[in-house]
Amino acid sequence: MSEVPDRGAERGVNRPPGDSGLYLDGVTVRFDGFRALNALSLLVEPGELRAVIGPNGAGKTTMMDVITGKTRPAEGVVRFAGRDLTRMDESAIANLGIGRKFQKPTVFDALSVFENLELALKAPRGPIACLRWVLAGAARDAILATAQRIGLEARVHDKAGLLSHGQRQWLEIGMLLMQDPQLLLVDEPVAGMTDHETAQTAELLAGIAGGARSVVVVEHDLDFVRALGCRVTVLHEGTMLSEGSIDHVQADPRVVDVYLGR
Ligand code: ADP
Ligand code: MG
């Protein structure tokens, strides 16, 4: 029998509800009695990059749905930057600075890279911030800086429809960045990408996290997760199974049993 570590301490459940960062404690989501999340606890510090892995059906997407207000938990605490997210609707949560990238990019094919980024700048979050950009005449600079950050500076005037699959994913990340999110949730970003694009995406996301901005990435590709170089949370049956470095979780017998060993 392997020694079972003190999972309470590991999960951070003894820590007080932080007034910064993302804090989930005892979160349960039921669908017709089935627990998609089962007393899930998670703490992500401001500026932290976190990877979340786990088998299909583990509850990874449901966790993101709870954070963004799409799904209400039956029980538990969900806080970000000192705010109780369970009392806020989806648009209020988005306005708080929580951005989400879905698996399927929602870029506008008929518009250029520049125009897509410009649209994102004008989107609802932060009209004051938006006005400030316009007054300073800096919108163009902000757009070009983001295009450079996502590696599309040479493609700014090309239509999004001409981009590769990976470049479209980056464009959508760029569109989210135009809103200056404080927490970015990214669901399976490298599915279908080439190895080179996958490596570049790891670099991009690692660079986006930092300062006050946290990034949570759900992904199956363990080489990609390793390249992120961050703490990893393993979900299984709606709860946290293991947490730590990629080496730690890959060596954890519980993780090997339910996920890696298959
Ligand atoms: P993952 O993203 O880790 O693959 P999900 O969060 O999508 O897992 O799903 C967790 C479990 O909850 C799955 O068994 C799934 O079938 C179930 N589930 C998710 N959303 C719903 C829903 N709206 N109604 C019923 N069951 C759901
Ligand atoms: Mg999912």
Instruction: Identify which ligand lies nearest to the alpha carbon of 62.
Output: 1
Q: How far is CA 133 from the centre of its chain?
A: 26
Q: Is 233 in the pocket of ligand 1 (CB under 6 A)?
A: no
The secondary structure of 134-179 as a DSSP string is HHHT-HHHHHHHHHHHTT-GGGTTSBGGGS-HHHHHHHHHHHHHTT
Could you confirm whether domain 1-97+182-262 is CATH 1.10.1660.10?
no
Instruction: Identify which ligand lies nearest to the alpha carbon of 60.
Output: 1
Give domain limits for the chain.
1-97+182-262, 104-180
Q: Is 253 in the pocket of ligand 1 (CB under 6 A)?
A: no
pLDDT in tens, the chain (262 residues): 344 344 444 444 444 444 689 999 999 999 998 999 999 999 999 999 999 999 999 999 999 999 999 999 999 999 999 999 999 999 999 999 999 997 777 899 999 999 999 988 866 555 555 555 555 567 888 899 999 999 999 999 999 999 999 999 999 999 999 999 999 999 999 999 999 999 999 999 999 999 989 999 999 889 999 999 999 999 999 999 999 999 999 999 999 998 887 5
pTM for the structure as a whole: 0.88
Do 80 and 183 meet the contact criterion of CB atoms below 8 Å apart?
yes
Closest CA to 242 of 230, 227, 253, 229: 253
Do 62 and 29 meet the contact criterion of CB atoms below 8 Å apart?
yes
Residue 128, burial from CB neighbour count under 10 angstroms (0-12, 13-18, 19+): exposed
Structure token pair of residue 55:
């088998």
Q: How far is CA 56 from the centre of its chain?
A: 17
Query: If you measure from the C-alpha of residue 191 to the centroid of ligand 1, how many angstroms do you get, rounded to a whole number?
Result: 19
Pairing mode, strands 49-53 and 214-218: parallel
